[in-house]
Structure 1
């Protein structure tokens, strides 16, 4: 008779009888495994890996993330080691590549070399099954193609009048003067425009308040602990899962009604309803679960980032009232003298001053402090001094728009709001590829960047034509305690312009 396989309960003869000795032995073996894993990572191939920035062994890296926050961690690591360094966190290695010289492979490599799935899979409970990071790359590519179709120029032209309508209606409710917080106001407004152009007219007109509350519960269910433990049984995750199920019911009802009636709308939802796979899944049409997940993913990718960039644009412009703000107002005056009050895609596209103001706000205050990839193959990164480092397979690799955009060798006087740095002949962002990564870059550049610019330009065109502003507080610090980095509270006084 074969010897029975031993289970955990059968291992007593192989462990010390004393519980404390067992704990010591298990701890020793765990530490040994971690050390061996780090040894293998640091000796991969024949190349030199980036220097390790840890401090206290085993817990130093974790402390740096939880206590120091990413910006201080990067400042300390960059000051000590330069453009490439590795921070061990528990059983993972996070390698930071800071600045455009070490960035090309991060942004240009295909997904079978630098993957998003392993580092962003914590989003799966929020987005739901069968979409984005819960599918293989071939399926995800087709799903992203659907979104690209929804943002073609012909469709974008149809979205602009809806941006204008929502902005004019929203600001019509402001008084002749008052005090507002840009972050709160623009979050409310962009929720409305996103509902109309992305989620569908039915949501905007019939159940916006409920959907907004549900999206808030999804947002509140994405905590720092969720990155490591997305299914941890905590109240925030229970609310997240309940909200996701209810959104599935709401969108499912709308999808079924449109398909049954044949009624069509000009929105992103309609594009997803009409979508079919081409090379996978047997060429079938999209289903309700996928459509719900993609709508949530699109909204999460755009709503917070757009509202925050709209806020920073206003705060930075108004603080620079005699220069960039005055130039943006003069640009609006000239455009109105040529086109009247019309705001369409072509008119918005001609606003080069406002475009640079938005881009400079995004340079100084990108919404996402870290962009992450998982190295499925080792690769070499070369610093600005020509030093080469071998990045091992299995490392989580991080780039930071927030930190890289403030490097003085990339952008002159980086702490100064200077939109003209993007104008010819300076064009500082074009001196080296991947100098400006406010919308990411390379293979995974933001698909919705043009949508965001049109939306933000519409909002600020309406405001510049109808109001004057004054900051009652200094330009606020970024709130690095949030997953998406917005401004802390700042009071802004508005004054409605008197009709001539």
Structure 2
């Protein structure tokens, strides 16, 4: 009682205080009004674009939130905006973020060649599902980009390919055995975006993650589920309002924590048992990297691998299934390799493929490589993203325009890959585009971005091509295959992709491959 002596407790009742608002002193009203004005200014204020930034495209700009069509109708929004400007570049806002969409040959060169535009920070902010750059490494002259590049380059050395090659082929063949067994319960059909997608995940983890994930099927399935759930939880609201704890953001935190916990359990088990596998995780641990950084690296590597190889492995097989000329040519290519390397009449095609060297895998399947290249061209939808981390405005080539300081830049993939002046009839899947007599991807500089461009080549390209050769050759050697709907109706061609999606993706309308064992 002593503590409340002298106080009128009724006077502290918040309801009574609100009810008597007409008795509030003027200073209280001024304070409330000032706070409200400050909040509204903070909510509505956006930094002004520099005078030499590309023109703001106002018809699609909404107060506070900016250009929501960037999330709901990306390809149409960016291509329409580009057509309204002479240089093809235009500005828009996402919340308070200033974004410049770059177009055309000059803009493309500036976008991909600039040292001052960070790829990792651009994707971490504008994509909203890619792993974030660790806070202590932001704006430090692309420190994280450099570390990631050095690390992935070390892992992509030939000796690591040699070490992992036989396990990769063995993993693939065992996975195809399981896929065929499951197909017998499904009318002889497989879903390439399930069965083959899982193989890509397994091989990628073997190369850039812990071997425990591959050796324990339940752990592989669990982490793949966590990874896919994390990737699906893209939150446009978090891009516009970075402070907002959205439901999708909460799901990303949840599945990110699950992945962290699984990785942490593997690390603790290794410390307890003294087990030291010769794998990527141990390489990172021995280098003194912390678990958060290691998880960010593994997630970033898987993110790139699954969005490219994981998706395009399925599309490649579907395109081959519906293009008789290339189906026949790739089958003959695989059969020719098997025939050339046969040392005994008792050897099966899978035995022969398992005995190939890295050099043979990399040099003896050029048609599979062409098919993959063309699949990537068609399926690479969405926009590339960068952040200006230079501390100043960055010129866009010689256009006289700039990407604002601390602003972002985007480049629509279709501006290049669906350009009929470079790729005639661009919607058609045609690996012959890249043969020497046509060489459509060499018509002008920076004409193909499927394996990265300029200062950001795909550092995992060699591994991606190797794993795709392994998967495709093992599949083609074992099966004849045709494309169908889930209820068994033949399809003359795959359903087209939704080009307004953010990135390469599984088909929105399901398709299946009907497989039958080949007879030799």
TM-score (norm 2): 0.78
Match of 1:360 among 351, 371, 374: 374
Q: Deviations over 1:239-292 (max 9, x none)?
A: 4323333433332333344456664434322321232xxxxxxxxx22233223
Match of residue 307 from structure 2: 304
Match of residue 488 from structure 2: none
Matched, 1:373 2:376: no
5 Å-filtered alignment, 1:84-163, equals 84-110=89-115, 113-116=116-119, 118-122=121-125, 127=131, 130=134, 136=140, 137-163=142-168
Match of 2:509 among 477, 486, 489: 489
* Aligned equivalents of 2:165, 2:78: Cα separation in 1: 39
* Aligned equivalents of 1:235, 1:29: Cα separation in 2: 24
5 Å-filtered alignment, 1:13-28, equals 13=30
* Aligned equivalents of 2:82, 2:466: Cα separation in 1: 36
Q: Does the 8 A contact of 2:226 with 2:259 survive in 1?
A: yes
- Give, in angstroms, the shift of residue 70 of structure 1: 0.9
Where do 5+ consecutive residues of structure 2 fail to align? 1-25, 343-351, 485-490
CA RMSD of aligned residues (A): 3.4
More displaced stretch, 463-472 vs 139-148: 139-148
Match of residue 6 from structure 1: none
Q: Secondary structure at the match of 1:101?
A: helix
Matched, 1:182 2:192: yes
5 Å-filtered alignment, 1:351-500, equals 351-366=365-380, 369-374=383-388, 376=390, 377-381=392-396, 388-472=400-484, 473=491, 474-479=493-498, 483-486=502-505, 487-500=507-520
Cα 1:196/1:170, change in 2 over 3 Å: same
Q: Does the 8 A contact of 1:106 with 1:373 survive in 2?
A: no
Q: Does the 8 A contact of 2:237 with 2:246 survive in 1?
A: no
- Give, in angstroms, the shift of residue 154 of structure 1: 1.3
Q: Does the 8 A contact of 1:125 with 1:230 survive in 2?
A: no
* Aligned equivalents of 1:139, 1:63: Cα separation in 2: 30
Cα 1:55/1:139, change in 2 over 3 Å: closer
Q: Does the 8 A contact of 1:99 with 1:435 survive in 2?
A: no
Match of residue 348 from structure 1: 361
Q: Does the 8 A contact of 1:103 with 1:399 survive in 2?
A: yes
Cα 1:164/1:214, change in 2 over 3 Å: same
Q: Deviations over 1:384-435 (max 9, x none)?
A: xx86534443432111223321111222322222212212133222232221
Match of residue 327 from structure 2: 325
Where do 5+ consecutive residues of structure 1 fail to align? 1-8, 276-284
Cα 1:491/1:422, change in 2 over 3 Å: same
Match of 1:249 among 249, 261, 265: 261
Q: Secondary structure at the match of 2:54?
A: coil
5 Å-filtered alignment, 1:167-316, equals 167-173=172-178, 174=180, 175=183, 178-206=188-216, 207-229=219-241, 232-258=244-270, 263-275=275-287, 285-316=288-319
Match of residue 56 from structure 2: 52
Match of residue 77 from structure 2: 73
TM-score (norm 1): 0.81
Q: Does the 8 A contact of 2:137 with 2:144 survive in 1?
A: no
- Give, in angstroms, the shift of residue 165 of structure 1: 1.3
